[in-house]
Structures are given as structure tokens and as C-alpha cells.
Structure 1
Amino acid sequence: MSESLSSEMEAIWREELSPFLAEREQRRKKAVGNIVVGTGLGVAAGITAAAILLAFGLFPFALFALIGLPVAGGAVGSAKFNELKKEVKLGLLGKLAEASDMRYSLQPAEPARFDVFREHGLLPNSDRRSFEDHFIGERHRSVFELYEAKLEEKRRSKNRTYWVTVFRGLLVRIEFPRTVEGVTVITRDKGFFNMFEGWGRKTFGSKKLERVGLVDPKFEKIFEVYSTDQVMSRYLLTPTFMERLLALETAVEGKKVRAAFDDRQGGGELLIAVETGNLFEPGSLFKPLDDEERVRTLLEEIDLVTGMLDLMVRPPELGENVLADQS
């Protein structure tokens, strides 16, 4: 492994991950072979069926056979391939998460606070949704959950119906270590379009939220803030917190981070949504499994997660102006 990795991770690679991958290499080769054979048989069947159908002048059916049968053959052949991919993903991410004091599962049993994310306007409307890659743990005595969400909207044109991805990224729930009362929502500034949504107030669920002005004009240009409690919102939205929220986008290589503080759990809760690519994938199984690069990539993404959480909940360091906007 790379010299930049810790001695602990070197040991995990050598003693656990490398043997885990090596044991599955023969299954990988066989699974890839099944795809090749399945696709090849599908191509042969497609060509034969298309030739027969063309002889009867059935061009649309011939085209369908020529395209559909190879796809079907590949799909049948990929069953073991997909099964192995899930097994490898769970094994690698489970062990890497454990090394970072987290627990991992392929999917959340219940996507934490998803309806609350929607209620507070942190996510767009969608007609289809899927969730994967669930992490749970604790950082700086703050319990958190994190998972990936993909939201799609059905759209129609004159000739067809199709799906558009309207959100793909991370949803995070953190038991925030500071007192939270009421609801404070931090969304992106829409500039000119603010006038169409009502400049001064919003309603989320049954709560009416008033617009909050931010002290720093830098943040005022980027975010819109609404809250049920003006005093509490200023207590929460310190310059340090807002800087960290912006830094989070860079940390996870994402965009359009937005957040909400909510007191409904009886304590302090921080919800964060940030758009990212599809993270936490084990890499191509068309390449040998026992490859340190696939582990290094996953480890880098897990480090992004832990770094993001540390960024949001770690105690302020000497020199950080945490309470500057509470005077």
C-alpha cells in the first residue's frame, strides 16, 4: 500500500482485505466469463432471429431481436457478477468503516429523517427514490447517520416518458452538540427568483419561518436562512459554522450544500444535504480484485466522510471566532 497510509491500515490491508479479495478472484474470473458467454450467445441468437424476421419483412421485430437478445444474454450472465460485486463492496466498506469507528450497511433500513429533509425544502420533489451506503457512528460525542440518496422525476415530452435525476448525493443527520430550539433552515440564495417565493418568510410543514439576515455579506450572497427563532438562529449560525458549511462542499467534492437545525428530537439535530457523485463503489470487477488502488479509493472517500463530520461537530480551535455574531 501507499506509504501515506497509516500503519493500522497497512495491517488491515495485509491481514484482512488482501486475503479477502484474493479468495474471490477465481469467482470474479468465472463471473466475467459468464457475462462474455451470455452476451456472445445473445449476439448469435439476435443475428439468427433478425435474419429470419427480415426474411418475412418484419424489420421492427428484427431490430428488437438484434439489440434485445444480446442485452438479455448479458443480463442473465451478469447475475453472479452482481452478486459478487455486492459481496466485495460490503466486505471492503464494512472493514474500512469499522477501522474508522463506524458501522456500514449496503442500504439504510429506514432512510433517516428523509421526510424531514423534504419538509424543510432541502430536497426537490421526486417520483422515484433509492438509497444506499448507510454509515452510522459517533464523532466528538455526536451520533450521526449518513447515506446516499438518488431522487428522480418522471418527465414527459411529445413522444416519450423519461426519468431525470434531480438529486444525487449525501444526506446526513447529526445529533448537534449545541442547544437547538425551533427550526432554522439554510438554503441556497436564488437571487432574482427570491421574489417569486416570498422574500420575508416561508412555511415548512406547520411552522412559519422568518427570514434571517446574516452578518457577513459573503454568506448573505450564498445562503438564504429562515428560522422560527431569530435569537436562536444567530446563536447557531456563527461565522465558524458558516465557514465550515462552505468548506464541507470542498471536502466532499460536492455542491449546493444546504442544512437545517431541528429541535423535534428533544435535543439538537443538524440535517445536511449535499450533491455529490456516486460514492463508495468498489471499482470495476473486470480488473483483478486484489488491487490496492480500489481499497485506497474507498478509503479516501471514507476519509472525506469522517473529515466532513469532524468539520461540523469538532470543538472550536483556538483563534476561531465562534461567538462573534452573538453580541
Structure 2
Amino acid sequence: MPMITVPDVDTLMAGDLGTWLTGQDQARKDAKSRAAKWWIAGAVIGLPFLLGLAIEGFLGQLFALIGMGIMAICAGKGAMIRQAVVTSLKTQMNTTLARTLGISYSAAASIGEEFELACRFDLLPSYTRKTCQDLWQGDLGGTRFNLYEATLIERRGSGKNARDVTVFSGVILKMHFARDFHGVTLIERQRMRLALFGDSQTKDGIRLERVKMVDPRFEKAFDVYGSDGVEARYLVHPAYCERLIALEDKFEGKKLKALFHRGDVIVTMESDDLFESGSLDPRRDRELLARTIEQFRAMADMITSLNERPRG
């Protein structure tokens, strides 16, 4: 399979991107200044209303609520001004990186069919509403893929006790596998389990039996379940353990799961915001871009490993 060459940060910063970023210094300063003005205005206008807390009864509570509302609106407006510039910077930096790899990047994203499949096989938890962002897609080294970040929120409780809980915040990655397979194989981080009457799972109506792996490193780190044990051992060779762990490390993630299903591989992993290359501090440009590049390199390495035929 062709090697995937990921550019280094010095190459990108020495080109048009570096020149463009230098030209954004004034926009960053303006965003900081405008946001600060909104925050100050919120404090100046809103704080006097908080004196209403000293007044007993409904009128005092009303004044306090008005003051908090004013401060919240002004704080939100300031944050939006800053975020708009950060998003513009991030989009330009990530688009430049994507262009060098011959793929595409978009700050906006839409959820694909892999999302529903991940839900059916419990790679993702149940949720009430969802959002997604930062879509990367295209062809890396002959492998079609798409990756985006998703946040799933579940509404729990009712009435006054109702609250929103973030049940998943991380990445969803789909790749088209180079080798044919017909069964279903599920990989997940090892967990405590009871196996008094056998160790199996039923997902989307398909019974998946625990598959013992030959490599002790993989067996210690991950559990593997499959509808066809022979095929699962063929698909999952020892290099995956190292690549999956490396991907978790670079993405600063946890609870990684992978599903082999009808020619595709779907990976989900909880993580903080990824590919956040934009900042209002120009001194952080190189650092954040380098971090994004390393995250992409880890993904490229995993794609290469997944589509290699096992040796030996």
C-alpha cells in the first residue's frame, strides 16, 4: 500500500500559510479588544442590578435576574467575537494541511450512515440530541475515509430535575478496508466482564463470540468479539494494538472501539477537541499546528497498518 506522507510544521509555516497568519495579527488584536469591551460593558451595566439581591421580595429577585442576564449576554457576545476569529484561523490552517494531503477539510460537518451503524453496535451511547464539526474526508494512501468530531447529549430526569448530560464527546472515523470480509468483528478496550456461561455479545441481532488473540499484548489491552473467529484473527493482526494505542495517545483519547462491518472499519473514541490549530495568540500557531499534524500522522499510520496484509 502507498506510504502516506504528512508534511511537517516547518514546511507549512514557511509557505503561504505563514504569510497569511502574519497578516492576521491585527484581526486577532481587534477580536480581543472588541470582546473585552463587551465584557466590561456587561459588568458596568449588569453589576448595579445585582444590588437587587439586597432587596427582599420579587422586585429584588427581578433586578438580580436582569443583571445576570445582561452580564451573560455581554459575556456570550464577547466569546462569539473571539471564537469567530479562532474558527477562521483554524479553518485556514486545517484546510492548508488537508490540501497538501489531497483531501478536504470543513469546519461544518454532517453525520453519515456510519453514525447509525456505530449506534446499532453500541460504539456510541444513547442520546437525545447530537452535534458534529470538523470534517476531514478523502483518500489517504488509497484508503477512502471520513472523520469528524461529535458531541452527544442526553436529557435526564424530568421537570425541575431535568438536566443535560454529555454522554460522548470525541471522534468518529470511517475507513474502507482493502481486504474483503463478510463477518462482523468488534474491538473494544478491555473491561471487567462476567463469563460464567460463556463470553458473547449480541449486537444488531448478530451474535458475537469472544475471540482469543494470539498476541499477548493485544489480548491484555483489547477485547475482540466476532461472528467468525477465523476471520477476526485474520483481520486483526498484532500491529493493530500498537497503532490503536498510538492513536489514543495522539488524540489524548479513551474508550476506543472499532467495528469491522461489510468492508468498512468504524472507530470511535472519546477525546477533547481535536485539530484545534487556531488561537488568538500568534505565538501558539506553530505549536498547535504541529499537534494537529501529529494527530493526523497517527491516523495515517493506523490506516496503513489496517490495510496491510499480516506478515508471516
Q: Aligning the two structures, in what range does the TM-score lie when normalised by the shorter sequence?
A: 0.7 to 0.9
Structure 1 counterpart of 2:310, which letter? Answer: V
Contact 2:7 2:100 in 1 (8 A): no
How many angstroms does 1:16 deviate by?
A: 1.6
Map Cα deviations across residues 264-320 of structure 1 (whole Å, 9 max, x no partner).
Answer: xxxx211111222211223442x3x4x3x3233223223222322223424899xxx
Contact 1:112 1:145 in 2 (8 A): no
Map Cα deviations across residues 55-91 of structure 1 (whole Å, 9 max, x no partner).
Answer: 5753322332333212212323444433222221111
**Cα distance in 1 between the residues matched to 2:72 and 2:173:** 37
Map Cα deviations across residues 208-227 of structure 1 (whole Å, 9 max, x no partner).
Answer: 32332223344334333222
Q: How many residues align?
A: 306
Partner of 1:87: 88
Runs of at least 5 residues in structure 2 that lack an aligned partner in the other structure: 1-5
Partner of 1:68: 69
How many angstroms does 1:173 deviate by?
A: 0.9
Contact 1:39 1:71 in 2 (8 A): no
Partner of 1:271: 266
Contact 1:36 1:77 in 2 (8 A): yes
**Cα distance in 1 between the residues matched to 2:53 and 2:242:** 65
TM superposition score normalised by structure 2:
0.84
Compared with structure 1, are the counterparts of its residues 229 and 315 closer, same or farther at alpha carbon in structure 2 (3 Å cutoff)?
Answer: closer
How many angstroms does 1:104 deviate by?
A: 0.7
Partner of 1:258: 257
Structure 2 counterpart of 1:282, which letter? Answer: S
Compared with structure 1, are the counterparts of its residues 18 and 216 closer, same or farther at alpha carbon in structure 2 (3 Å cutoff)?
Answer: closer
How many angstroms does 1:7 deviate by?
A: 9.0
Contact 2:105 2:135 in 1 (8 A): yes
Compared with structure 1, are the counterparts of its residues 98 and 68 closer, same or farther at alpha carbon in structure 2 (3 Å cutoff)?
Answer: same
Partner of 2:146: 145
**Equivalent position SS for 1:132:** strand
Structure 1 counterpart of 2:176, which letter? Answer: E
Superposition map of 1:29-48 within 5 A: 29-48=29-48
Partner of 2:290: 299
How many angstroms does 1:150 deviate by?
A: 1.7
Contact 2:50 2:68 in 1 (8 A): no
CA RMSD of aligned residues (A): 3.0
2:301 aligns with one of 289, 300, 310: 310
Superposition map of 1:144-293 within 5 A: 144-156=145-157, 160-193=161-194, 199-263=198-262, 268-285=263-280, 287=281, 289=282, 291=283, 293=284
Runs of at least 5 residues in structure 1 that lack an aligned partner in the other structure: 1-5
Structure 2 counterpart of 1:105, which letter? Answer: S
**Cα distance in 2 between the residues matched to 1:246 and 1:222:** 9
Map Cα deviations across residues 224-260 of structure 1 (whole Å, 9 max, x no partner).
Answer: 3222222211211222333433343234332222111
TM superposition score normalised by structure 1:
0.81
Contact 1:245 1:312 in 2 (8 A): no
**Cα distance in 1 between the residues matched to 2:195 and 2:270:** 21
Contact 2:187 2:259 in 1 (8 A): yes
Compared with structure 1, are the counterparts of its residues 243 and 46 closer, same or farther at alpha carbon in structure 2 (3 Å cutoff)?
Answer: closer
Contact 2:239 2:305 in 1 (8 A): no
Contact 2:86 2:278 in 1 (8 A): no
